[in-house]
Amino acid sequence: MSPKNLVIAAAVAVALAAGIFLAIRSTAPAVPASALILPEPEPVPQFSLLNQDGDKVDQSVFEGQWDLVFFGFTHCPDICPTTLQVLATAKQTLAGMGQQPLPRIVLVSVDPERDTPEILGQYVDYFGDGNLGLTGTIEEIRKLTTELGVYFEKRGTEGDNYVVDHWAGVYVIDPDGKRHSLIGSPHVVDNYVRDLPILMDDR
């Protein structure tokens, strides 16, 4: 084979290889960049808490829609408002792209001493309509967080002058009320915009 023909043959081989790679890539399932999908969806443990209207709710409150569940508190100086704003911005962006369904944002308080239903309601409403706030007794919250593997600890005991250290991840709950995946920090809007449609299509 002449040198010219060798060059042509090599170019054809490279083109074929590139085409095969792109074909495989285009048909491969999308993989979320920032989320850990659980091997099998796991039911949310039983609980009894209060929503922002003061009504008692249990684990069935997570059925019927996708939920992004964050554990935090309204006096949180940085992580909580930043994370909730990321979730709200991502949801708004997805809505503008025509994404359906859209997830609900849920804040479970780890500071029930200060987070009454009324205060919690005002706080979650700041980040958009349709959000859910949950609070209750410290015993119920401790029971739920322990079963979910969510860490929190109160720091300081002088009156209201204290903070609460807590896990900064987000649980993704599917419409069957089951834990579907986990999203760790740092929380980035672009990651949520990319990954949430993938996660919500994985059922």
Note the pLDDT of residue 62: 98
In what order do the strands lie in the sheet containing 104-109? 35-43, 178-183, 170-173, 67-72, 104-109, 132-135, 48-51, 56-58
* Maximum distance among all Cα pairs of the chain, rounded to whole angstroms: 88
DSSP 3-state assignment of 34? coil
Note the pLDDT of residue 156: 80
Count Cβ atoms below 10 Å from residue 162 Cβ, excluding itself: 14
Evaluate whether 137 touches 49 at the Cβ level (below 8 Å).
no
Note the pLDDT of residue 202: 79
Note the pLDDT of residue 130: 97
Note the pLDDT of residue 29: 56
Q: 127 vs 15, 39, 54, 106, 140, CA distance in Å?
A: 50, 31, 19, 11, 25
Count Cβ atoms below 10 Å from residue 67 Cβ, excluding itself: 23
Note the pLDDT of residue 174: 98
Note the pLDDT of residue 27: 44
Run of H or E including 132 = strand 132-135
Residues of the chain with pLDDT under 70: 1-29, 158, 203
The residues pairing with 175 across neighbouring beta strands, listed in sequence order, are: none
d(CA 63, CA 54): 19
Give the CA count within 13 Å in the CB-facing half-sphere of 45. 13
Model confidence over 73-113: pLDDT tens digits?
Answer: 999 999 999 999 999 999 999 999 999 999 999 999 999 99
Note the pLDDT of residue 182: 97
